[in-house]
Amino acid sequence: MERWIEDKYAVVGRPAKPVRLMVSLLLLKRLYNLGDETVVEEWIHNPYMQYFSGETEFQRDLPCEPSDMVHFRNRIGEEGVKKILKLSTDLHGKDDHQAQVAIDKTV
């Protein structure tokens, strides 16, 4: 885990949700232009979203409360959200600037 996000977590109190889950929900929310409640609900029904979030088996429970996403964004701040989104686009290089993208939604 990068140091800037590691410093945002305390070792006391209620355990936080895994960073991978929260980052993936943040990315999925932005990718599909969903709200906090909607992305959490959609995650239950979509095995692709669950796999993207690090799950290896299909889950039937909510990954978190929608308010946990608000707490996560507050914890990492506006700058943290920008860093995560920038890292995501930087990973794909020029591929994320394609004029057309083919998406296969078959199951």
Q: How confident is the model at residue 2 (pLDDT cuts 50, 70, 90)?
A: low
41 within a domain of the structure (yes/no) = yes
85 within a domain of the structure (yes/no) = yes
Structural domains of the chain, count = 1
- Tell me, what's the pLDDT at 29? 93
Q: Which of 87, 106, 89 is nearest to 97 (CA)?
A: 89
Give the sign of the dihedral formed by CA 36, CA 1, CA 79, CA 12: positive
Q: What percent of the chain has pLDDT over 70?
A: 75
> What's the pLDDT tens digit per position in 52-99?
999 999 999 999 999 999 999 998 899 989 998 888 888 766 655 556
5 within a domain of the structure (yes/no) = no
Between CA 14 and CA 54 the distance in angstroms is: 22
> What's the pLDDT tens digit per position in 15-44?
778 889 999 999 999 989 999 999 999 999
106 within a domain of the structure (yes/no) = no
Between CA 1 and CA 95 the distance in angstroms is: 25
More confident position, 34 or 5:
34
Contact (Cβ atoms closer than 8 angstroms) between residue 81 and residue 73: yes
Q: Considering the entire predicted model, what is its pTM?
A: 0.74
Q: How confident is the model at residue 104 (pLDDT cuts 50, 70, 90)?
A: low
Residue 54 phi, psi dihedral angles, 5° rounding: 105, 0
100 within a domain of the structure (yes/no) = no
Domain that holds residue 52: 18-92
- Tell me, what's the pLDDT at 68? 93
Interacting residues of 9 by C-beta distance below 8 A, sequence separation 6+: 16, 75
37 within a domain of the structure (yes/no) = yes
43 within a domain of the structure (yes/no) = yes
10 within a domain of the structure (yes/no) = no
